[in-house]
């Protein structure tokens, strides 16, 4: 099953326009999906159809050749990076690097301007009212959620206070709450996941009674489930609870407007939305962030320090201790520009069409031997397909597919409690993004057929 040792990387092709004409049918599909959760990634404007061949030419790694052509289906773990992001970071390091917010010389001011421009871009991308105060750069979504839990939670929760979560959470939105429960004794409640991958909201009001905060993912990284935001937020508001959302699998794929969502804080990460690793984001309402104490202490996050105390800096710097991820933030800004160029309505429309094709093709080719977890209605899910091939462990399946150049993720996907709900130890997960098309799904299905033959299942 080994592949040739030689590695060939073809030259980077010229940038091409990554989209073509408007497609009103895709917009209609999005609007129908929006009927269930109207503020989530939707728009009545016609969506442009993505020109995937042109998009692929913008991603150098997709030109990589090592045996079979590379079929990258692991964007839910980390997306690939377009030339525009790579060049933006390279240009910064070549021409403008200095520490930010500190120097008064021209180079430092240029670096600061680039860094703050990236903050503004990211804020506009998610509909922030005041990006200059409401966007906090972190290391990743995990750190952003830890910031929210540790800072807001410690300041506002006491022993016995209730926190409402769901059974489909990534560890990043579960372990920090478990740590807080051990530390101060908060009560953790959970919305149950049903067999179809949807959340059971029948006891939402009951479980929200007395809750001080609800924290939930907008899109499951395992099931692809698009969580119905509106009823959860409405119940939270009725209970006077704060709302925190994990948008790591949502923001890269859907039009996101935090004001329409009605939440108080949102965590997401750069590396899943075409940006670099090492930079994440916590958006929060300015009044919420103002009320929260600093998360980390040190340089940059202070306005004054004395031997008997300190005064924190204004937002957002009070949450950005030390030298921030400057180049990474600039790269994230370039990723936002790229996604804006595609249009997030077009991104969602493309993903929905591809999920529909994938579920149909995989069912036709593999029947009951292949189980896809999560909602069976493509409109109720993102571009995540967690699979079980009968008689084959997920890790073995992933290894065989890798020998055919198909990259998928195998494991518990940082969601062990959900794995226990599904009564599996691991799944094989394929995830789709803007640079995937039907040919990638075809390659996945063909590789699954070869895996079935390899393990003697046919």
State pLDDT tens for residues 75-112: 999 999 999 999 999 999 999 999 999 999 999 999 99
Which residue intervals of 77-202 are DSSP H helices? 83-95, 106-125, 131-134, 141-147, 154-156, 175-184
Query: Do 99 and 247 have their domain in common?
Result: yes
Please report, rounded to a whole number, the percentage of residues in the chain having pLDDT higher than 70: 89
Q: Is 125 left (phi over 0), alpha (psi -120 to 50) or beta?
A: alpha
The mean pLDDT of 27-34, rounded to a whole number, is 34
457 to each of 194, 365, 369, how far by Cα in Å?
A: 30, 14, 9
On the question of pLDDT at 6 being above 60, the answer is no
Residue 36 pLDDT: 37
* pLDDT number for residue 69: 87
Does one domain contain both 380 and 264?
no
- pLDDT at site 67: 67
If asked whether residues 125 and 18 sit together in one domain, one would say: no
Please check whether residue 74 lies inside any domain of the structure.
Answer: no
Separation in Å, CA 75 to CA 51, 291, 323: 18, 35, 28
What confidence score (pLDDT) does residue 333 get?
Answer: 98
Within-domain flag for 2: no
Alpha carbon distances (Å) from 200 to 34, 168, 205, 227: 19, 11, 12, 10
CATH classification at residue 42: 3.90.1150.10
Ramachandran quadrant class, 302 (left: phi over 0; alpha: psi -120 to 50; beta: rest): beta
Domain presence at residue 255:
yes
The bridge status of strand 187-191 relative to strand 162-166 is: parallel
The packing angle between helices 438-454 and 344-366, to 10°, is: 30
Cβ–Cβ under 8 Å, residues 75 and 430: no
Name the residue range of residue 408's domain. 8-69+343-454
**Predicted pLDDT at 19:** 38
Given 278, 305, 340, the domain boundary residue is: 340
Q: Which of 317, 340, 363 is the last residue of a domain?
A: 340
Q: Residue 17 — very low, low, confident or very high, per pLDDT cuts 50/70/90?
A: very low
Tell me whether residue 75 is in a domain. no
b/e burial code for range 161-191 (CB count within 10 A of at least 16 → b): bbbbbbbbbbbbbbbbbeebbeeeebeebbb
Residues 37 and 105 in one domain: no
266 and 250 in a common domain: yes
Cβ atoms of 455 and 97 within 8 Å: the answer is: no
Q: What is the CATH number of the domain that holds 169?
A: 3.40.640.10
Mean pLDDT (whole number) for 346-372: 98
Do 94 and 43 share a structural domain? no
Query: Is the CB of residue 249 less than 8 Å from the CB of residue 384?
Result: yes
Pairing of β 187-191 and β 211-217: unpaired
Three-class SS of residue 299? Answer: coil
pLDDT at 64 (0 to 100): 83
Nearest to 373 by CA among 202, 247, 198, 173: 198
Instruction: Quote the pLDDT of residue 10.
Output: 32
Mean pLDDT for all residues in the chain: 91
Tell me the CB-side half-sphere exposure of residue 160, using CA atoms within 13 A: 1
How confident is residue 48, by pLDDT bands cut at 50, 70 and 90?
confident
Question: What pLDDT, on a 0 to 100 scale, did the predictor assign at position 33?
Answer: 33
208-218: b (≥16 Cβ within 10 Å) or e: beebbbbbbbb
404 and 272 in a common domain: no
Same domain, yes or no: 215 and 108 = yes
The pLDDT, as a whole number, for residue 68 is 75
- Name the DSSP class of 318: G
Give the DSSP per-residue string, 366-415.
Answer: HGGGEEE-S-SSGGGB-SEEEEEETT--HHHHHHHHHTTTEE-EEE-TT-
Q: Are residues 325 and 388 in the same domain?
A: no
Query: How would residue 32 be classed by pLDDT, with cut points 50, 70 and 90?
Result: very low
Is residue 66 scored above 70 in pLDDT?
no
Question: Number of structural domains, the chain?
Answer: 2
Percent of the chain at pLDDT > 90 equals 87
326 and 349 in a single domain? The answer is no
Q: Region 239-264: what's the mean pLDDT?
A: 98
Does residue 297 belong to any structural domain of this protein?
Answer: yes
What is residue 437's three-state secondary structure? coil
Contact 162, 181 (CB under 8 A): no
Phi, psi of 327 (to 5 degrees): -60, -35
What tens digit of pLDDT does each residue of 370-395 get? 999 999 999 999 999 999 999 999 99
Dump pLDDT digits (tens) for 170-221: 999 999 999 999 999 999 999 999 999 999 999 999 999 999 999 999 999 9
Predicted local confidence at residue 456, as pLDDT:
81
**Cα 298-317-218 angle, rounded to 5 deg:** 110
Show the tokens assigned to 433: 């993004």
- Assess whether pLDDT exceeds 80 at residue 27: no
With tokens 């895996």, the residue in question is: 451
Residue 341 reports pLDDT greater than 90: yes
pLDDT tens per residue across span 286-302:
999 999 999 999 999 99
Residues 373 and 227 in one domain: no
CA 225 vs CA 198, 318, 375: distances in Å: 6, 35, 6
pLDDT tens sequence across 122-137: 999 999 999 999 999 9
List active site positions: 414
Is the peptide bond prior to 367 cis by the omega test (within 30 degrees of 0)? Answer: no
Task: Give the helix/strand (H/E) hosting 449.
Answer: helix 438-454
Residue 77 lies in a domain: no
Candidates 187, 191, 241, 183; CA nearest to 216 is: 191
Per-residue pLDDT for 41 more than 60?
Answer: no
Do 242 and 208 contact (CB within 8 A), yes or no? no
**424 in any annotated domain:** yes
Q: Is the confidence at residue 24, as pLDDT, over 90?
A: no
Q: Based on the domain organization, do 225 and 335 belong to the same domain?
A: yes
The residue among 319, 340, 361 that closes a domain is 340
**DSSP character at residue 218:** S
Residue 313 lies in a domain: yes
- Who has greater pLDDT, 208 or 18? 208
Yes or no: say if 138 and 280 are a contact pair by the CB < 8 Å rule. yes
Residue 46 is predicted with a pLDDT of 58
């Amino acid at each position: 099953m080994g592949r040739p040792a030689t590695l060939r990387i073809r030259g980077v092709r010229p940038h091409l326009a990554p989209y073509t004409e408007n497609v009103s049918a895709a917009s209609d599909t999005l609007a129908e999906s929006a009927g269930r959760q109207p503020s989530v990634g939707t728009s009545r404007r016609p969506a442009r159809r993505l020109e995937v061949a042109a998009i692929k030419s913008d991603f150098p790694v997709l030109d990589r050749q090592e045996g079979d052509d590379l079929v990258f289906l692991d964007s839910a773990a980390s997306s690939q990076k377009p030339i525009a992001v790579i060049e933006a970071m390279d240009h910064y390091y070549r021409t403008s690097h200095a520490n930010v917010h500190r120097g008064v010389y021209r180079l430092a001011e240029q670096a600061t301007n680039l860094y703050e421009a990236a903050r503004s871009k990211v804020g506009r991308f998610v509909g922030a009212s005041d990006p200059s105060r409401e966007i906090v750069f972190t290391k990743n979504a995990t750190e952003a959620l830890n910031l929210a839990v540790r800072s807001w939670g410690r300041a506002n929760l006491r022993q016995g206070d209730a926190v409402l979560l769901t059974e489909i959470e990534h560890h990043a939105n579960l372990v920090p709450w478990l740590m807080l429960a051990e530390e101060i004794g908060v009560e953790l409640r959970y919305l149950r996941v049903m067999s179809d991958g949807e959340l059971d909201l029948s006891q939402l009001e009951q479980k929200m009674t007395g809750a001080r905060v609800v924290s939930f993912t907008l899109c499951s990284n395992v099931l692809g489930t698009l969580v119905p935001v509106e009823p959860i937020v409405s119940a939270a508001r009725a209970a006077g609870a704060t709302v925190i959302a994990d948008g790591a699998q949502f923001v890269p794929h859907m039009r996101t407007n935090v004001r329409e969502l009605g939440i108080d804080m949102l965590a997401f990460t750069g590396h899943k939305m075409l940006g670099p690793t090492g930079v994440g984001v916590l958006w929060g309402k300015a009044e919420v962030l103002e009320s929260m104490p600093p998360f980390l202490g040190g340089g940059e996050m202070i306005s004054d320090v004395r031997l008997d105390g300190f005064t924190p800096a204004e937002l957002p710097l009070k949450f950005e201790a030390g030298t921030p991820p400057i180049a990474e933030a600039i790269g994230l800004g370039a990723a936002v520009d790229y996604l804006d160029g595609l249009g997030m309505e077009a991104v969602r429309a493309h993903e929905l069409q591809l999920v529909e094709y994938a579920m149909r093709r995989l069912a036709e080719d593999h029947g009951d031997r292949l189980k896809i977890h999560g909602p069976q209605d493509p409109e109720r899910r993102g571009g995540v397909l967690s699979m079980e091939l009968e008689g084959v462990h997920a890790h073995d399946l992933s290894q065989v597919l890798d020998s055919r150049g198909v990259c998928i993720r195998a494991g518990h996907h940082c969601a062990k409690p959900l794995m226990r709900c599904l009564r599996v130890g691991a799944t094989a997960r394929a995830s789709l993004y803007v640079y995937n098309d039907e040919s990638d799904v075809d390659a996945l299905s063909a590789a699954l057929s070869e895996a079935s033959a390899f393990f003697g299942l046919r």
